[in-house]
């Protein structure tokens, strides 16, 4: 029989109130408190917290606090990645971020979701769908990336967009729901 964590990571329905998962989220919250309360000139402290918190980060990975996530260990980011102030990554499952990705302030990345059926949802079970963001993507401020979305390399997501479906490579996409506005090449 699978543990709740194994179910969570494989995209199956699971109980987030599981003791192991609750403790792991608590650990992430403690790490985030240290990051978010750090002084602007404490770059070594911030880098250390991020190295411990995140699953994998490349060189020149930078987050402007405050930042929030569920676990941290499900986040994988490439080189030269920048998150501006007040971003959230609900990393219930895999979030893969390519190289040279820029995220404006208040960007929200959500892998977690809930059953559509009200009776099932009322049991407090949930599940997740992975998110993948390609190289050289720019996500404008206050954009929301929904569960299961893939954003293709070199694309731009306009500020305030709600991305509910995959976005191809080399496009400018914006709106609620987000849609392709034009090709970039």
Q: Which residues are catalytic?
A: 114
Q: The tokens of 165 are what?
A: 């479906």
Burial 119-134 (b: 16+ CB within 10 A, else e): eeeeeebbbbbbbbbb
Radius of gyration of the chain (CA): 16
Asked if 45 and 64 count as a contact pair (C-beta separation under 8 A), the reply is no
- CA gap 155, 172 in Å, rounded: 6
- For residue 167, the 8-state DSSP code is B
């Amino acid at each position: 029989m699978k543990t709740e964590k194994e179910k969570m990571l494989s995209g199956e329905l699971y109980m987030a109130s599981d003791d192991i998962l609750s403790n792991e989220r608590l650990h992430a919250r403690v790490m985030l408190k240290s990051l978010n309360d750090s002084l602007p000139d404490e770059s070594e402290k911030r880098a250390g917290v991020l190295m411990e918190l995140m699953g994998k980060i490349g060189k020149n990975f930078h987050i402007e606090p405050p930042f929030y996530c569920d676990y941290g260990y499900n986040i994988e980011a490439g080189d030269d990645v920048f998150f501006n102030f007040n971003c959230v990554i609900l990393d219930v499952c895999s979030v893969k971020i390519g190289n040279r990705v820029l995220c404006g302030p208040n960007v929200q990345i959500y892998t977690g979701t809930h059953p559509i059926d009200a009776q099932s949802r009322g049991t407090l079970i949930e599940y997740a769908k992975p998110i993948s963001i390609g190289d050289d993507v720019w996500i404008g401020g206050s954009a929301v990336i929904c569960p299961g979305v893939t954003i293709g390399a070199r694309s731009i997501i306009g500020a305030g967009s709600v991305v509910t479906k995959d976005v191809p490579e080399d496009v400018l996409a914006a709106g609620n729901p987000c849609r392709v506005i034009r090709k970039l090449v």
